[in-house]
Amino acid sequence: MAFISQADELIKSGTTEIENKFITKYLPVLDAQAVKVYLFALYVCRGGLGYTAEDFAQKLGMTEQEVTGLFEYLEEFELAAVTCRSPFEVKLLGARNEYGSPKKLKPEKYASFTRAVQDVITGRMISTNEFMDYFYLMDEYSIEQNAMLMIINYCVNLKGSDIRAAYIKKVVKSFVEEGATTAKKVEEKLSSYTSSTPSLVKIFSAVPINRKPDVDDNALYEKWTGELGFTDEAIICAAKYFKAKSTERIDAALEELYKNRKFDVKEIEDYCRERNSLYAAARDVAKALGVYMQDASPYVENYVGAWRDMGFDGETLLIIADYCFMQGRNTFERMDDYVRTLWSEGVITCKAVTDKLERIAADDKFIKQLLTRCGLTRKIIDHDRQCLARWREWNFSDQTLLAAADSAQGKNNPVAYMNAVLSSWKAEGVTAPPARDAGAVSGGESSRAIIERHYYDLRAAAQARADRALAKAMKDERYAKIRKEINSLSIRQAFAEVGDAAKAEELSRRIAALKKEAGEVLAELGLNESDFTPKYKCELCHDTGYDASGRQCRCLKKFIEANNL
């Protein structure tokens, strides 16, 4: 095993550069031979060279004893740490601060301090490295030894006799940040902690938090009572209503209350009751929609809170959620669209919503009957509901609508056919099902209805042929891929034509090449591009019965004459 290793911060850097901190702070004051050893040690570590202590000394033209002594010298400056003496092993450390004069630590001046610290921390033995950290803190920040002992004793009283060094160093730095580096100032600081401790103990007991208050807790308490302006009673009330089991959670709760200007106990109680009601409503709605909700906060903020502000109560929202789930609108976003639709219609109360949903259910039942009479077995879609609403606006009775559905049975698009029939009936003032005469060519129906249905059937047949041709082509993966690419390039070409003529021309050539390739694939399939365009029986009127000027087409005149209309 190599006798030199390095600290994590040097390993993670992944470079072979020398720290600026070393150059600016240590290079001017270190012994020249120590600099030589430190730099060569960096090289050995970064290069992954498995040198022994003997190899290392030989490369530098030194004895092992000289090398050992120089590493011990570097240890006093905290640039190295001797981790083992037999065999000799050392760890390189990073420089502490970039600027300032380095202090060569002399452990002997801290002899009484080390004994006192070990007497305080009785639950474990303190390592040399831990003592060196304490020495460094005192030297770096000019902390009096008695002040340091007072801080360590305070930490032990909080955390116990086996307290970890990391916590002590954290607390020491918090004292330093507040300028408490002398025994007098530390005593004043600890006195202020002592004055707030009873309040923190009372808060911790009420929550409950099963530990003693510490420095961080005191800082938060000063924030709560000073910066935010809450009383102890308000803090306890907030902690209970928010079910906060840590000071961090209490802090977040008080920040929320401060943001919403709720300071008094009653204000907090009212706010939290409403807040809890919103969260309960969000959970109920999520359950009804079948939505998994890890954190309800975004749903309350973005949806449920807004719905409640509109006037919807929890019971009404649950009814709407059940309906949305049945209709496939089973997300908060899609439910939000429907809630806002109801709100815009003034349908807000539980009774109003229930009445509306009952009417929708009745309409859906009737729509299902119409679809069945048309010969359809599919699910109801919104377009069906829109059609029914329009037909009823035209004052057609349910019986008339059923008659129109019967006439649409067997057609390519029965609902569209029904719409055409009802449109013609409306134009001629027909509000009841026309009487049927089995012997009549028209079956008792109006001439206009017969004509419209005839031309509807012609157009539908032409469109169906074109749709079948396209569907056949799109089943071929080659053609489908080419067509998709042509569509994409066409969009890009449209934008390019506005400001980049050269790019537009290039895209045009690429599209032409792809169209040629597509034509070859279609030829193999027995198709061509024109098959995708409806081929009407009459090219003059495109199976509408009227030419471009709005006059009757000759095909319509022939149809009227042939059918005695």
pLDDT at residue 141, rounded to an integer: 86
CB 441 within 8 A of CB 406: no
Q: Which of 15, 16, 37 is nearest to 26 (CA)?
A: 37
Place of tokens 């190295």: 80
pLDDT score recorded for residue 443: 44
pLDDT, position 285 = 92
pLDDT at 507 (0 to 100): 86
- In 375-413, alpha helices (H): 382-393, 398-408
DSSP letter (8 states) at residue 24:
I
Q: What pLDDT sits at residue 103?
A: 56
First-to-last alpha carbon distance for the chain, in angstroms, is 109
Residue 69 DSSP SS3 = helix
d(CA 376, CA 410): 9
User: DSSP code of 109?
Assistant: G
Per DSSP, the three-state class of 463 is helix
Kindly give the confidence (pLDDT) of every residue in the chain, 565 residues in length, as a single tens digit, with 9 standing for 90 and above: 556 665 555 544 556 578 787 787 778 778 888 889 888 888 887 766 678 888 888 989 999 888 888 888 887 777 888 888 788 888 887 765 444 455 555 666 788 888 999 999 998 898 887 888 888 888 888 899 999 999 999 888 888 888 899 889 988 998 998 899 999 998 888 887 766 778 888 888 888 888 888 778 888 898 999 999 999 999 999 998 888 889 999 999 999 899 888 899 999 988 888 888 888 889 999 998 999 888 888 898 889 988 988 999 888 998 899 888 888 888 999 999 999 999 999 999 988 988 888 888 888 888 988 998 888 888 888 889 899 999 989 888 888 898 888 888 878 788 888 888 888 888 877 766 655 443 334 444 567 778 877 888 888 888 888 888 898 998 999 998 998 888 778 767 765 665 677 888 888 899 999 999 999 999 998 998 899 888 989 988 888 888 777 688 899 888 888 887 7
CA–CA separation, 309 and 313 (whole Å): 9
Helices and strands (DSSP H and E) totals, the chain: 26, 3
- Please tell me the distance from the alpha carbon of residue 13 to that of residue 22, in angstroms, as a whole number: 15
Burial of 424 (0-12, 13-18, 19+ CB in 10 A): buried
Strands 88-92 and 80-85, sheet pairing? antiparallel
- Conformation bin of residue 243: beta by default, left when phi > 0, alpha when psi is -120 to 50: left
